[in-house]
Amino acid sequence: MKLLKKLFVFDFDETLVKCDRDHDAKTRYEDIKIIEKIEPMFSIFRSLINTYSDIVILTNRTYKCTEDIANALGIGITRILTRSYCLTRMEIDIVIAHPEDLEDFLLRMDHDKIDKLTKLAKNYENIYFFDDLKARYEKHGNMVPENVHIFLPIEVEK
């Protein structure tokens, strides 16, 4: 099987956009209220999407946000990969109330994204993945396939 050359993967929150955290807490992250597009990352994404077809969004938001993300980014829903594990409202409420207990939640997020990257990596020579939580993947270094290259989003200081 011939591998496709390269895939660009973008995280959503804090990589392409900043969302209203109070709104997120209120809606348990099932709805999106964007307060800012992160530049120049957002514009880089937009120009890339116009010229290159192998691009996906990889987010830990629920599938309920798929349409909102598609609308915000001007892309089709088939390009959006949302989290596959279930979180109960109670679990989300606990994390919102006790941010010090975030680690378990974050580990599940990491593993879900690494699983998806691992599947994608079988079809591409190289994957370029932009995620504001880049440092987290360093904890799981040997789980991330060698052809997945992770970068912090480019952000211009205001």
- Show the site string, 37-76: x = touches Mg ion by CB under 5 A, - = not: ----------------------------------------
Q: How far apart are the first and last CA of the chain?
A: 47
Minimum gap (Å) between residue 40 Cβ and Mg ion: 17
Please report how close the Cβ of residue 59 comes to Mg ion at its closest, in angstroms: 8
Q: For strands 17-19 and 34-37, give the pairing.
A: antiparallel
| Per rule CB under 5 A, count of chain residues that contact Mg ion | 5
> Which of residues 11, 24, 68, 112 is near Mg ion by CB under 5 A?
11
Q: Does 112 bind Mg ion (CB under 5 A)?
A: no
Q: Which residues pair with 80 in a beta bridge?
A: 57
**Structure-block tokens of residue 114:** 């690494």
Which contiguous run of DSSP H or E holds residue 124?
A: strand 124-130
